Amino acid sequence: MFDTFSLPNWTICGSEIPEDIYNSIMCEIKEIENEGSPNKWNKNLAGAIEKEYELIKSRSSLVPFLEKMAIEYSHHLKKIKDIQFEVGELWVNFQQKNEYNPIHNHNGDYSFVLWMEIPFKHSDECLVKNTVDSNSKYLASSFEFIYTDILGKISTHTLPVEKGWERRIIMFPAVLQHVVYPFYTSDGYRISVSGNLGVKYVEE
């Protein structure tokens, strides 16, 4: 009889945002999409994406949800109590066909990605001519984490983001490297919202 145990590692927190919050954010997104915005955010981001903007009007809807999610995530990770978080700027990415986000990480303690609108199916992306015969065709249009495992090996965890993922949100350590691969089968936008959170230190 042998005993086994797992070595410690980080986990990712996932959820689905309530419909009313989603609708509030989407209202601002559609306004930006239709009317434009002076709040371009590209200079602050790593993405090879033309249309990236700061979100302002819908902050009040999303921030309380993010703060609660971060607190519960911290409790799970470190059993920390009485911790508070501050949410930094929020931004929206209107990713178009052939655009991508290279390997990068974020500032702060935690980061999140919220998928708002996905115009393609992952199965279709795997069948386009430049991916169909590749042994990595499953990466097409995907979101992927890149990390060093407990043995020092570079490992990955891939999320096949596609139509139907709307309202899904993930939160993860801000230093965790990740990449967003391009899509090819749609002329629509792959719309996502992201941002960072930091621990709020309260003076006693």
pTM of the model: 0.93
At residue 75, φ and ψ (nearest 5 deg) are -60, -40
Predicted confidence at residue 77, as pLDDT, reads: 80
- Sheet containing 177-180: order of strands: 101-104, 177-180, 143-148, 154-159
Predicted confidence at residue 88, as pLDDT, reads: 97
- Measured CA to CA, the distance from residue 140 to residue 184 in angstroms comes to 8
Predicted confidence at residue 202, as pLDDT, reads: 59
Beta-ladder partners of 110? 173, 197
Predicted confidence at residue 201, as pLDDT, reads: 72
Q: Contact at 8 Å (CB) between 99 and 141? A: no
Fold of 14-200: Jelly Rolls (2.60.120)
What are the tokens at 53? 């903007």
Q: What is the mean pLDDT of each run of 10 residues along the chain (204 residues)?
A: 80 96 98 96 97 98 97 83 90 98 97 98 95 93 94 94 98 97 97 96 59
